[in-house]
Structure 1
Amino acid sequence: MSTLPDPDDPIGPDGSRAGPDETRLRARAFLDAQFSVLLVVCLLVAAAGGGLVYTTHVDPGTETQTRTVSSWNVETEYVHSAEVTEPSPVFSIGDELTNRETYFASVAPELDVAAQTTYTADSAESVDVTLESTLVVRNVGGEESGTVYWEQREAVDSTTATDVGPGETVSAPFTLNSTAIDERVATIEEELGASPGETETFVVTDVEVAGTLNGENVTYTRSVQFGISHEGATYTVSDPGVQSDGDEQQVTETVERTYGPLRGVGGPLTLLVGLLGVAGLGYARYEGLIGIDEAEREYLSFRDDRSEFDEWITRVRLPPEAHDRPEAYADGLRDLVDFAIDNDTGVVEDPNTGAFHAVSGEFVYTYRPPLAPGFGGGAGRAPGPDRSGGDGRETAGSDANEDGFDGDESGDDEADAGLFTSSLFGDGSDATESSESGTASDEEPDDGSERDEGPAPDGRE
């Protein structure tokens, strides 16, 4: 048997299955239906691109910026060391213990401390630096109460340096004897007879930097604290590390607004895309490259219905006898399928002609789909079987080779035809009777006169 064609291929006037690019046809239909919307979108894109180009390259506008033109900074820190003055198994007399957290009171009871201050600036004039260090011994309550039960202060150093330049270091050294401080605390507590809180010992250094920095008169002050606590044979220091403060001189100015490369390039590209879209749509409409005619629209509608109702359609080659019944025509495939569903029958697609049929009662209901646009004949319907009688009407054919039946396939096709006619047309009696009636009528004279049959066999008239 021959291979059935693909049902999705449209049928040409010569019975071949070929067609245009349906995707392109649908694209044309979409562009035609959405032409106004697409045109507005392209205009908006072009307008947005034009706005970006104008605000980026033509008139970017201005903005206010604050920038730092100069700055100055002051740093204060403590350096400390203790010299070994008593012999020991691990240290020699004269050894210097530097910047430790804990020192041994028995071998190095005196701690040498120096408060050091330096500053940086872009320019400086008449800068004086003053460092005043005070030893504070006091007894205070808990951290929450903050009560000071007693306090004793003693100035340990006061240093002033004049005309100090940027980067120069001013040092204010002093010495703390941990053993002497511990004895002082013990004497005070003994005289008071009680010690209700916790005893603290620390040195507070007041730093002052005054002068002209970066063209402005500046007076900078700050207090830095260096702690020391005696714990029997050792004493521990609390070094705050480098304490830094500074200031910046800033100016506010109005400058031209600048944008990044994305906006600088994206604006012209957006404008170009919008203009090309408008020009392309206009050219396509002017040249008739978009839009579809009624025949193409009808063809697309048929293709949609064919896809939607595919499960209701069976592909069968129809024998010539199938068209002996009276034939009615449906306006659309959807109408034919609805009719078939309502009448509990199937829809058959004849692969030879592309026509669709449904059989109900004495009639064959047929829908002939539109030709695929692009065939030479233009708009039209898929061809039906060649059944033109003498009066030009379509009649049932009787040629065995008609509708694709050939000698080589006659056996298989006749079997298929038999199955089809048996299932859709009953036992074939109607077709047989019609054939016999046609034969009988052919034997009757056309002028209606009685035929002279001659004498009867038995000699009777």
Structure 2
Amino acid sequence: MWLLGQKTRRTVVDNHELLLICLVAIAAVGGYLTYTGHVAPGTDTTTRQVSSWQSSGSFSHNATVRNGTSAFPEGEVLEDRSVYLQRVAPVLDGAFTYTYSASNESDLTASADVFVQYRSVESTQNGALVYWEVERPLTQSTVQSLAAGEHIAVPFSLNVSRAAEAVRRIDSEHGQTSGRLEIAVVSQVTLSGTRNGQPVDTAHTYRLPIIPSQSSYRVENAGPVTNSGDRTVEAQVEKTYGPLWTLGGPVLLLGCLGGATALVYGRTTDYLTLTDAERRWLAYKSTREEFDEWITVGRADPVDDVWTTSVDSLVGLVDIAIDTDERIIESDTDSDFLVYTGDRLFRYEPPPEPRTDSTMGNSDAETSD
């Protein structure tokens, strides 16, 4: 008995070359997936971090009340304010703190200088124009060995009232420039040694701007300033694929190769070949379905003295029914198709339905899908 119905075999035969090309193409895709997923997956280039570091520099500040008032008793310490009153607390005390961390072994020597910077600056389209700049030390240089996680702290003290007088006096020496007069506590940190096994010789500068006015001074503390860095290397790693790739590849390869083999075998052994009887039956069934609206099943009684004409195809009988505006009667007794026009009877006898043969190459039949 056939494993495939007549309609299916006709579809396969009519599209044999296209189906074979598609199966081979999909098998090739499955082969590629199988090869890359199991034999030679290939490599990817990845970037791996081998070390990192981070440093932070920050200022803290306070001012002690030296001229007490109703609001500020003498001796009170005012901490980390944005604005201080010059007459009440003219001296700004504070400290600069530097710390760093590293992922690997490091051996650094750090030095920190803290000084007051006076200058006259004018903003231009090309940046800042510095008319003059003067620096005065506030704290002697501090040098110490600095391990990862340790910090260095340098204290400072600045009489802001005197600093305001100094910046005006220096500017007067230069003819009273048109620039903006600035005062800042500046710390310069110099590092040397090794960090994460790499040589280091660098310096960082941190600023604490101080803006005096007639009765107060503002401290623009932007908070901790951090710097960081890392070192990476490129490495080749084997590609990995998901189960859809690793399992789907062999399934596509084996399934499509099997399908292509079966297709070639079926064509060469006449397994997929349709007999003439099968082709006639399929053509009849297709026409019967196409013109079903013109056909009525009923009983056909014999009519005497009527000229009967046999028609070779159901399509021809449909043409007669259309031309004569009559319906086609499908006999419920012998399955013949009839068109009766009053004086003529047109008859079409459908081909017999093929039966299943025991020999595949000689089959005259099979039940349709």
Q: Which residue of 2 aligns with 1:104?
A: 85
- Would you say the 8 A contact 1:330–1:365 is kept in 2? yes
- Would you say the 8 A contact 1:313–1:346 is kept in 2? no
For residues 248-307 of structure 1, the C-alpha deviation after alignment (integer angstroms, 9 at most, x for no partner) is 333344444443444233323333433443455467668976554333332332232233
- Counterpart of 2:101, as a letter, is T
Greater alpha carbon shift after TM alignment, 191-200 vs 105-114: 191-200
Q: Which residue of 1 aligns with 2:192?
A: 210
TM-score (norm 1): 0.66
Flag structure 1 segments of 5+ consecutive residues without an equivalent. Answer: 1-22, 380-461
Q: Which residue of 2 aligns with 1:182?
A: 164
- Counterpart of 1:80, as a letter, is H
* Counterparts of 1:375 and 1:249, CA distance in 2: 78
1:148 counterpart = 2:120: no
Superposed counterparts of 1:62-73, under 5 Å: 62-73=43-54
- Counterpart of 1:294, as a letter, is D
1:346 counterpart = 2:346: no
- Would you say the 8 A contact 2:331–2:337 is kept in 1? no
Q: Which residue of 2 aligns with 1:86?
A: 67
1:114 is displaced (CA, Å) by 2.1
Q: Which residue of 1 aligns with 2:117?
A: 136
**Number of equivalent positions:** 353
**Cα 1:112/1:348, change in 2 over 3 Å:** same
**Cα 1:211/1:28, change in 2 over 3 Å:** same
**Cα 1:223/1:36, change in 2 over 3 Å:** same
Q: 2:76 aligns with which of 91, 95, 110?
A: 95
**Cα 1:332/1:261, change in 2 over 3 Å:** same
1:265 counterpart = 2:247: yes
Q: Considering only CA atoms, is the larger Rg found in Structure 1 or Structure 2?
A: 1
Superposed counterparts of 1:402-441, under 5 Å: none
* Counterparts of 1:329 and 1:105, CA distance in 2: 125
Q: Which residue of 1 aligns with 2:178?
A: 196
SS of structure 1 residue aligned to 2:182? strand
* Counterparts of 1:375 and 1:263, CA distance in 2: 43
1:170 is displaced (CA, Å) by 1.1
- Counterpart of 1:345, as a letter, is D
SS of structure 2 residue aligned to 1:87? coil
1:210 is displaced (CA, Å) by 0.9
Q: 2:14 aligns with which of 8, 20, 33?
A: 33
Q: Which residue of 2 aligns with 1:74?
A: 55
Q: Which residue of 2 aligns with 1:46?
A: 27
1:195 is displaced (CA, Å) by 5.3
**Cα 1:285/1:82, change in 2 over 3 Å:** farther
Q: 1:304 aligns with which of 286, 303, 308?
A: 286
- Would you say the 8 A contact 2:331–2:338 is kept in 1? no
- Counterpart of 2:30, as a letter, is G
**Larger strand percent:** 2
Identity %: 33
**Cα 1:157/1:266, change in 2 over 3 Å:** farther
SS of structure 1 residue aligned to 2:123? coil
- Would you say the 8 A contact 1:141–1:148 is kept in 2? yes
Q: Which residue of 1 aligns with 2:275?
A: 293
* Counterparts of 1:181 and 1:365, CA distance in 2: 125
* Counterparts of 1:110 and 1:269, CA distance in 2: 83
SS of structure 1 residue aligned to 2:146? coil
Q: Which residue of 1 aligns with 2:42?
A: 61
- Counterpart of 1:59, as a letter, is A
SS of structure 2 residue aligned to 1:57? helix
* Counterparts of 1:183 and 1:72, CA distance in 2: 42
- Would you say the 8 A contact 1:140–1:148 is kept in 2? yes
1:78 is displaced (CA, Å) by 1.9
**Cα 1:150/1:161, change in 2 over 3 Å:** closer
For residues 399-458 of structure 1, the C-alpha deviation after alignment (integer angstroms, 9 at most, x for no partner) is xxxxxxxxxxxxxxxxxxxxxxxxxxxxxxxxxxxxxxxxxxxxxxxxxxxxxxxxxxxx
SS of structure 1 residue aligned to 2:145? coil
1:213 is displaced (CA, Å) by 1.9
* Counterparts of 2:269 and 2:72, CA distance in 1: 105
Q: 1:163 aligns with which of 134, 141, 145?
A: 145
* Counterparts of 1:182 and 1:237, CA distance in 2: 13
**Cα 1:260/1:94, change in 2 over 3 Å:** farther
**Cα 1:72/1:37, change in 2 over 3 Å:** same
1:60 is displaced (CA, Å) by 2.6
1:222 counterpart = 2:193: no
Q: Which residue of 2 aligns with 1:335?
A: 316
* Counterparts of 1:231 and 1:374, CA distance in 2: 113
* Counterparts of 1:61 and 1:375, CA distance in 2: 54
1:247 counterpart = 2:229: yes
Greater alpha carbon shift after TM alignment, 357-366 vs 115-124: 357-366
1:29 is displaced (CA, Å) by 2.4
* Counterparts of 2:215 and 2:145, CA distance in 1: 44
Higher RCO (CA 8 Å, separation ≥ 6 residues): 2
* Counterparts of 1:44 and 1:346, CA distance in 2: 52
**Cα 1:191/1:44, change in 2 over 3 Å:** closer
- Counterpart of 1:327, as a letter, is T
Q: Which residue of 2 aligns with 1:410?
A: none
